[in-house]
Structure 1
Amino acid sequence: MSTDPHSDNLDPSSNASGEAPAMAGGSVGGDQDGWQAPDSGTFSGASPYPSQGSPQSGYGNYQTPPVGQPGSAPGYPPPPAGGQPGYGPGGGYGPGNPGSGGYGPGYTPYPGSAGYTDYTGYSSVIAPKPAIIPLRPLSIGEILGGAFESLRANPKAMFVPSLVVMSIMGLISAGGFAFFFSRLSLPGVTTSEELTDAEIEANLDKLWSSIAGLVVQTGLTSVLTVFAASILTGLLIVTVSRTILGRKASLSDVWQRTKPRVGALIGQVIIIQIILGVATVVFIAIGVGVFWLPMSSVIANGGDDGSAGLIVLTIIGLVVATLAFMLGLFALGCKLCLAPAALILENIGVFEGISRSWALTRGYFWRVVGVRLLSTIIISVVSWAASSALNFVTQGLALMAPNAMLAVLAGSVLVSSLIQAVTMPFDSAVVALIYTDLRMRSEGLDVELRRAAGV
């Protein structure tokens, strides 16, 4: 996307929020606006923060202290070479230092006063915040809060594409559902009368063909939904990336930026689904070999007390293994979740995007898992609440109009797609902010973003 003001629908003279427009040209110019990969030639590639676990970091995974914590205010000098800060000569707190009152001269009673020494061993500044997040490594709360802020900052670009695409998918699903269920002539759904055995026997072929058609239609709709969701993810990531810089991108700008990468996004989601599918097949094969075959052999040979105990242990082991597999699949998804953001924002290839996601999450795996788990819980709670309300309404309509049950069920399918359309922007925003946070931590991306945002 171009860095010209018109490409972001931003007029500096009418920017009521005070957000700074991006710098035109310069080392971060061009269509990437500060999101270039470290090897692109315009990226500095050096993080200004101590590495994770460094003795200087002082804040664990957060590295740079959040605002309000010791060391967060600007201008604090590093500790002098004469001793450990705060506890000996040159540190300012110990007895015998001139001018400290009761604690020794030079003592500063609270962080932020003149001469305060940052005990973390390096100076920190208050990071600029062009829009939804400060341009520094983020806390988990700032990632989730920034995702909500992105929805409020540009609701049109965040919600309209999702609602349009998922409405189309919902209409296709609801139409297919209504068509095939209408052919089934199920009592209580499409008719108000009980069918006789002769009628059921006469309609048996139509019954099976309708069920098969419904399964095929559901499968095709699911595939189309996955492809549509991959394109939507790209659109939403672009929107969030512009919002981070303090810009409000229009729908046409976001589409123009994403359109050349649509094929790559679909290809990438296919590759990721293949990876997850292979992992699932391997687990099923292991489960069949380890659990099902021994249990089926015991059942075939007749059971005694020992065999019953073995069957119970096998079932427990299968449940535990299934839970472990689900957690492993979720963890694998976390390792790959940044691939669309890398593909779109760094303008790289399908496999390069997957490789970048794997590399960026290295060393921060549990952090990514924690953020994704929290966002999944939030989305699940919202979806559950909306679905519960939908079920309540559906049951009420079914009681009031039993002959319209099929229409009510088809409508619930459509509304379920709309619920997904509402939660999808939040999920994509979380992914974009995780990607931004990890690059700021490991590659100093915040320096480039500050230049791009003009702050």
Structure 2
Amino acid sequence: MTDAGAWASPGSAMPETDTADSVAPPPAPPAAADDILETEIPLRPLGVSELLDGAITYVRRSPRAALGLSAILTGIVQVVVTVLQFIALGGRLHTNVDSPADLVRTLGPASMTSAVGLFLTAYVVLLLSGLLAPVMGRTLLGRATSFGQACRDARAVKGRLIGTATAVLAIVLLAIALPLTPLVVSLLAHAPTGLQALTAVLGVPLALALMVVGYVWFALATPIAVLERRGVRAALRRSAEIVRGRWWRMMGVLTLALVITFFVEFLVLPVPFAVAQQIILVFDKDPHGWLLVAAIAVGGVGRVIAGTLVNPFNAGVITLIYADRRMRREAFDLESQLEPSDDPLAAWLPGPLTAAGSGPQPKTPRPSFVAPPPPPPPPPGWQR
């Protein structure tokens, strides 16, 4: 027999009943505020413009943590570089170049100190990409980071991070040294000019190419060592594994970020400080005493401010590339949304398939075919 209460004439309202089926379900409770991830960086695979914009966004979300750590490391490096330049130039801001011999004597020490400064800056960027990886990790999951929290994170990983950054820089230096060894040997042995030119033509481009290749392959090792809590060798293997198949894209993004930072750090930010230094030189062409200290301090402060603002950008690009590769290869964005974690850093730990490090991942056996269960019987009253 059919249920009379289940039918009504067309156009009429349904009669009210006291049955349990007609009771409306209670409204769902509102989502907790901690479960809503609000972030300016989209948690999904990122394009090139989003990678560059995200490297600025995370600094804006946690400025004390990002700029504080950057100021400490950049200040140490610039003090060392300034002292080396002062010693190399013989305690003078500039030297008079009246002959080719004077030019050679000036360019030699200046180029050496500049090279030391570039490598120390690269080392700072590698350290910051690891130190600020927790800041970026929390930003992607909708959390901010204080300066104190960033310092506590740094103390927990300082040994592993320093070892990984040193290993990456050593790989880059070795890649440069090997092709340049024949050139150095030919110069020290006073070989014929043609042989010296040949070793220079072949060695210098090869050294630059190997430097870029080594840096791109292993640049992600520092954020991996911090966020995935891996050792030095495991972080290097994991970096090469993540970069594999997307080397050219990563090289293009890092090159674009380097061009942007070079323009900002050397052509925009130091201009006011260079003008102030020239004003000091107006009073004395060869300053000494407190005037010399003031001129050196103005130039040093300009470099510290420029590096403090620019280095977190480069470090953020490296960390965002790592996050993008995790989301593309391992669906980290979907996993973090389906299974949110109370600890934003614990969410970045690798899953069971990637915890073992590099190498082929174990394949999940394909389940055998199982017939679907029969549909449930229709509820009473569904017929006329």
Is this a same-fold pair by TM over 0.5? yes
Q: Does 1:237 align with 2:237?
A: no
Say if 1:143 and 1:434, in contact at 8 Å, map to a contact too.
yes
Q: Does 1:368 align with 2:247?
A: no
What is the rounded CA distance, in whole Å, between the counterparts of 1:285 and 1:221 in structure 2? 22
**Aligned to 2:324, which of 437, 442, 446?**
437
Question: Residues 246-275 of structure 1: CA distance to partner in whole angstroms, max 9, x if unpaired?
Answer: 101111222222312101111112222222
SS class of match (2:244): coil
TM-score by length of 2: 0.65
SS class of match (1:21): helix
**Aligned to 2:149, which of 253, 256, 263?**
253
Q: Does 1:449 align with 2:336?
A: yes
What is the rounded CA distance, in whole Å, between the counterparts of 1:252 and 1:371 in structure 2? 31
Question: Residues 129-184 of structure 1: CA distance to partner in whole angstroms, max 9, x if unpaired?
Answer: 73132222111111111112112222122112212332344445556766x589x5
Say if 1:19 and 1:130, in contact at 8 Å, map to a contact too.
no
Q: Rate the CA distance shift 1:276–1:323 in 2: closer, same or farther, 3 A.
A: same
1:256-271 equivalences in 2 (<5 Å): 256-271=152-167
**Aligned to 2:219, which of 327, 337, 353?**
337
What is the rounded CA distance, in whole Å, between the counterparts of 1:327 and 1:227 in structure 2? 19
What is the rounded CA distance, in whole Å, between the counterparts of 1:387 and 1:437 in structure 2? 33
Following TM superposition, by how much is the alpha carbon of 1:320 offset from its aligned partner in structure 2, in angstroms?
6.2
Say if 2:52 and 2:257, in contact at 8 Å, map to a contact too.
yes
Indicate the larger mover: 322-331 or 368-377. Answer: 322-331
What is the rounded CA distance, in whole Å, between the counterparts of 2:79 and 2:244 in structure 1? 41
Following TM superposition, by how much is the alpha carbon of 1:319 offset from its aligned partner in structure 2, in angstroms?
4.1
What is the rounded CA distance, in whole Å, between the counterparts of 1:181 and 1:292 in structure 2? 22
Count of residue pairs brought into register by the alignment: 296
Amino acid across the alignment from 2:274: N
Amino acid across the alignment from 2:151: W
What is the rounded CA distance, in whole Å, between the counterparts of 1:219 and 1:146 in structure 2? 30
What is the rounded CA distance, in whole Å, between the counterparts of 1:268 and 1:435 in structure 2? 15
Give the corresponding residue for 1:378.
260
**Aligned to 1:164, which of 55, 64, 72?**
72
1:18-417 equivalences in 2 (<5 Å): 21=34, 130-171=38-79, 174=82, 180=87, 184=90, 230-287=126-183, 296-297=191-192, 299=193, 311=194, 315=197, 318-319=200-201, 321-385=203-267, 386-402=269-285, 403=287, 404-417=291-304
TM-score by length of 1: 0.56
Following TM superposition, by how much is the alpha carbon of 1:215 offset from its aligned partner in structure 2, in angstroms?
12
Question: Residues 208-261 of structure 1: CA distance to partner in whole angstroms, max 9, x if unpaired?
Answer: xxxx9x999999999987766554332211111111101011112222223121
Say if 1:335 and 1:365, in contact at 8 Å, map to a contact too.
yes
Say if 2:125 and 2:312, in contact at 8 Å, map to a contact too.
no
Question: Residues 403-422 of structure 1: CA distance to partner in whole angstroms, max 9, x if unpaired?
Answer: 32453034313421332121
| Larger proportion of helix | 2
Amino acid across the alignment from 2:34: P
Following TM superposition, by how much is the alpha carbon of 1:383 offset from its aligned partner in structure 2, in angstroms?
1.0
Say if 2:129 and 2:315, in contact at 8 Å, map to a contact too.
yes
Question: Residues 55-78 of structure 1: CA distance to partner in whole angstroms, max 9, x if unpaired?
Answer: xxxxxxxxxxxxxxxxxxxxxxxx
Say if 2:125 and 2:315, in contact at 8 Å, map to a contact too.
no
Say if 1:162 and 1:421, in contact at 8 Å, map to a contact too.
yes
What is the rounded CA distance, in whole Å, between the counterparts of 2:66 and 2:292 in structure 1? 34
SS class of match (1:151): helix
Say if 2:273 and 2:298, in contact at 8 Å, map to a contact too.
no
What is the rounded CA distance, in whole Å, between the counterparts of 1:337 and 1:346 in structure 2? 15
Q: Rate the CA distance shift 1:384–1:172 in 2: closer, same or farther, 3 A.
A: closer
SS class of match (1:247): coil
Identity of aligned residues (%): 25
What is the rounded CA distance, in whole Å, between the counterparts of 1:364 and 1:275 in structure 2? 20
Q: Rate the CA distance shift 1:230–1:142 in 2: closer, same or farther, 3 A.
A: closer
Amino acid across the alignment from 1:371: V
Say if 2:180 and 2:207, in contact at 8 Å, map to a contact too.
no
What is the rounded CA distance, in whole Å, between the counterparts of 1:328 and 1:22 in structure 2? 46
Q: Rate the CA distance shift 1:387–1:226 in 2: closer, same or farther, 3 A.
A: same
Say if 1:21 and 1:246, in contact at 8 Å, map to a contact too.
no
CA RMSD of aligned residues (A): 4.1
Say if 1:177 and 1:410, in contact at 8 Å, map to a contact too.
no
